[in-house]
Structure 1
Amino acid sequence: MKFNKYNIATGIKKSLEEAGFNRPTDIQYKSIPQILSGQDILAIAQTGTGKTAAFAIPLISMLEKVKPGLEPQTVKAIVMVPTRELAIQIEQVFLELAKYTKVHPVAIIGGVDIEPQLKKLQKADLLIATPGRIMDLVFKGHLYLKKIDYLVLDEADRMLEHGFYNDIKKLITLLPKKRQTMFFSATINETIKDLAYALVNKPVRIQISPKDPVSKNVDHAVTYVSMDDKRFFLERFVKENEDRKIIVFVRTKVRAERVAKAMDRVNIHTETIHGDKDQKNRFQVLDNFREGKNKILIATDVSARGLDVKGVDFVVNYDLPELPENYIHRIGRTGRGTSRGRAISFCSDEEKVYLDAIQEYIGKEIDVMKISKGSYEETIAYSEANPYDWKQLINEAESEPKKKKKKK
């Protein structure tokens, strides 16, 4: 069934057509009609399945039909998210889909000037924010939750990871009982299930769980590299893929800065994004990467789900993640939509336990990209960071005239 056959606002159909989206993904096909009919939903779906549009399309359509009232608060819908970056990205999806409608979405985030955001909030129909930010707006009198008709929790599992459980439980008590709730999570466990059923009322359960959780658009492989040699192989990979957009994932903030400095020593420009960066810097780094001003982005797992940048050619797992599900979120940054993507993981001896956990999680072995001994040694030898200038020695050796053997 094509989008133009759905009972959604004409303005949304126009936006979808302009963007080249004709048919829904599985999660959209299963969610949109249920949401439009007024049902609560509990959806389990991985990142990259199109779940943002699965709730954005029907929400905009329903809000378009709401007649303006006399109340000072215009916000009728809330989308709760785990991070500021995800709030901004979801806002962009809503803005794109709603541009031919009367619906006004706004993301409210910390770390930047709040006054311009509050002015937008006064005219907004839909708010996108973290539970902590929503709580702050409520207690400062900027938001009245009893006026909310629609509630979306996106990436609920990650919100719990970020410690928002108590905030969400508190917000539940401030929301009206008569509302429509959409609960989205990539994973499900007892805590998430308890939270979900405290929020939803007789929900339709939707589960999109392909046998292989890795996107079919992503080709991924692993190669065995010593921990101390990873920088040489990253240097070679980047130089062999000039002008390609690459996201490099590392395990910690300290590692991110160390890898950036290692690349700087071999004249490769990179930028880092992690929790120690202030919001203004993070926005600037993401904008530089989106616009192609910087081609190499070094990130931690905090950014794995939140990064949504078009045209990422490669993901490099410089460090393997400790949590196997983060592998899916990382490599899901490439191969978005209909584009093909590629991911390569560097695995040291001490990380093989993580590799085993990842392969068990995805239900199959990851293809191994073998490196010959000669190629391995060559990668280190030809690095600009090598303490021994092997290239100069080789050039000198090749340029020296061969000495003639003396006759006896």
Structure 2
Amino acid sequence: MTTFTDLNLCPELITTLKDLGYKQPTPVQAQAIPLVLAGHDLIAEAQTGTGKTASFALPMIDRLSRTPVEGEYHEIRGLILTPTRELAAQVGEHTLEYGRLLGMRVISIFGGVRFDNQIRKMKRGADILVATPGRLLDMLVQKKLSLAHLEMLVFDEADRMLDLGFIGEIRQLLAYMPEQRQTLLFSATLNDSVEVLADKLLREPKRVAIAARNSASQQVKQSVYAVDNGDKADVLSFLIHGGNWRQTLVFTRTKKRADQLTAELLEEGISAVAIHGDRTQRERTAALAAFTAGEVRVLVATDVAARGLDIDALPQVVNYDLPNQPEAYVHRIGRTGRAGQQGRAISLVAPDERRFLQDISALIGKPLQLQPVPILENGKLIEGGKLPEKKRNQSGKTRKGGANTKAASKAAKRAPLQPEEPVAPDTPGKRPSLFGR
């Protein structure tokens, strides 16, 4: 059995990991850490929840600690780029915690907060900077910081960074960095765009692949229910009440849908909050904190806002709307079934979403079969049965055994929600070609 000591990490990091309760490295940590410590560039393909933050943060801290900084000001020697504000904040917190015994100065900067406040944070510099591309570029252009002494660069969730259209910022950021550096690229999926990025930025990289490409977690039970679009809110309310779900992350395709669903859940007596691109950073942070602390049962989120959320032991994820990009489904359900825990992924599929379901099944190499919404028997949700021949798009209330609940029966009387185009408004427009290639 491999231990962190076997990975040749310095004694201070071993002590910190022991204090944090880390017993042994995950597969991605066991494979990636020695390669990074040896100075290699690295491409790592690993799903969310596999411990990838420690895979780059620990060896970065170890390598930088070998040449401690003298003087009050610390030049930036390690840079971790992340696609979202939430991920930047979480990676920064974890990295700071790992490097505490070594006096490692770690600072996170991202949009959504006052620019001058973050400039003040950087007055004494940082050993490691965690940043989103846009805010970092703003600071560099205004000459508020320098990357001239950069030794190590990490792209965290590179696939999502490209999905969000950050390739332009990445090209500009490279002009501020020395060419001689160690570069690490971590991604849940390695599509063609990520491979082109890696080919441009990395030198003779080593490769680590923990999960099969585009695979869904084996720890996640996936269920797909046939539901009319106008019935979705009532069916979700029924499932939450009937299953006594306490901590549920729900994905919608648009910001409007997120707000609308949150309001309807509150009307059903289910505590819920929403996070998306129109919410301020303060509102998003408060919503996540309330959900993590168990003060609310449901967190409703768009893909952009939810990427990088670090929530331990999340029991279930719901696709209120299927994503129109099948890779997003893999990222979504990666929020549950983490670190060896069992998880549930439930998708509510309207008739016009079945084409998305086919694309998802093809991507993950596993047929996802539509089934009726469970019925409630003796206080438990019971799955099974076949879709009625004439009512395949109904929510399951016609199954033998009676109506599901008051919420399910009410679904038939509800006016359907206004149809929306299957696009993600949080995401910028078409992605430009990578480096002109």
TM-score, length of structure 1 as denominator length: 0.88
**1:96 paired residue number:** 97
Change in Cα spacing, 1:17 to 1:352, as seen in structure 2 (3 Å) is same
Alpha-carbon distance in 1 for matches of 2:30, 2:82: 22
- Summarize the alignment of residues 1-400 of structure 1 with structure 2, pairs less than 5 Å apart: 1-70=2-71, 72-121=73-122, 122-210=124-212, 213-242=215-244, 244-366=246-368, 368-371=370-373, 373-374=398-399, 378-379=403-404, 381-382=406-407
Query: Once the 2 structures are TM-superposed, how far is the Cα of residue 377 of structure 1 from its aligned partner?
Result: 6.3
Alpha-carbon spacing, 1:119–1:387, altered in 2? closer, same or farther (3 Å): same
For residues 407 and 400 of structure 2, the distance between their equivalents in structure 1, rounded to whole angstroms, comes to 10
Q: Which amino acid aligns with 2:236?
A: L
8 Å contact kept, 2:111–2:132: no
Would the aligned equivalents of 2:303 and 2:328 in 1 still touch at CA under 8 Å? yes
Shift of 1:198: 2.0
Question: Secondary structure at 2:44's aligned position in 1?
Answer: strand
* Deviation by residue 1:6-41 (Cα, 9 ceiling, x = unmatched): 211222212222333222222212211111011111
Task: Using the TM superposition, name which of 284-293 and 372-381 deviates more.
Answer: 372-381
Counterpart for residue 387 of structure 2: none
Whole-Å separation in 1 of the counterparts to 2:295 and 2:62: 37
Rounded to whole Å, the distance in 1 between the matches of 2:242 and 2:301 is 21
Amino acid in structure 1 at the alignment position of 2:404: T
Deviation at 1:111, TM superposition (A): 1.8
Is the 8 Å Cα contact of residues 27 and 50 (structure 1) preserved in structure 2?
yes
Q: CA deviation at 1:184?
A: 1.7
Q: Deviations over 1:164-190 (max 9, x none)?
A: 111111221221121111112223344
C-alpha distance in 1, partners of 2:159/2:290? 29
What's 1:402 paired with?
A: none
**Structure with more of its chain in helix, by fraction:** 1
Matched position secondary structure for 2:204: coil
Provide, for residues 303-323 of structure 1, a one-character-per-residue CA deviation record: whole Å limited to 9, x for no partner. Answer: 342221123221111111111
Moved more, 197-206 or 369-378: 369-378
- 1:12 alignment partner, SS class: helix
- For the 8 Å contact 1:47–1:305, the answer to whether it is kept is no
Distance 1:211 1:176 in 2: 32
Q: Counterpart of 1:145 in 2: which secondary structure? A: coil
Read off the aligned partner of 1:227 and give its amino acid letter. Answer: N
2:380 maps to which residue? none
For the residue of structure 2 that corresponds to 1:61, the secondary structure is helix
Structure 1 vs Structure 2 CA RMSD: 2.2
**Residues 356 and 143 of structure 1, relative CA distance in 2, 3 Å threshold:** same
What is the aligned partner in structure 2 of residue 392 from structure 1? none
| Partner secondary structure for residue 152 of structure 1 | strand
Name the CA distance, whole Å, in 1 between partners of 2:64 and 2:117: 23
* Alignment check: 8 A CA contact 2:78 2:152 kept: yes
Aligned identity (percent) is 38
Contact 2:111 2:134 in 1 (8 A): no
For the residue of structure 2 that corresponds to 1:46, the secondary structure is: coil
Supply the distance in 1 between the matched residues of 2:312 and 2:156 (Cα, whole angstroms).
21
Counterpart residue type for residue 346 of structure 1 = L
Query: Partner of 1:309: helix, strand, or coil?
Result: coil
Q: Distance in 2 between matches of 1:375 and 1:148?
A: 66
CA distance in 2, matches of 1:305, 1:59: 23
Amino acid of the structure 1 residue aligned with 2:202: V
Q: Partners in 1 of 2:213 and 2:128 — Cα distance?
A: 35
Query: Is the contact between residue 231 and residue 412 of structure 2 (CA under 8 Å) also seen in structure 1?
Result: no
Gaps of 5+ in 1: 389-408
TM normalised by structure 2 equals 0.83
**Cα distance change, pair 386–219 in 1 and its aligned pair in 2 (3 A):** closer
Structure 2 unpaired stretches of 5+:
374-395, 414-437
Distance 1:123 1:170, change over 3 A: closer
SS of the aligned residue for 2:148 comes to helix
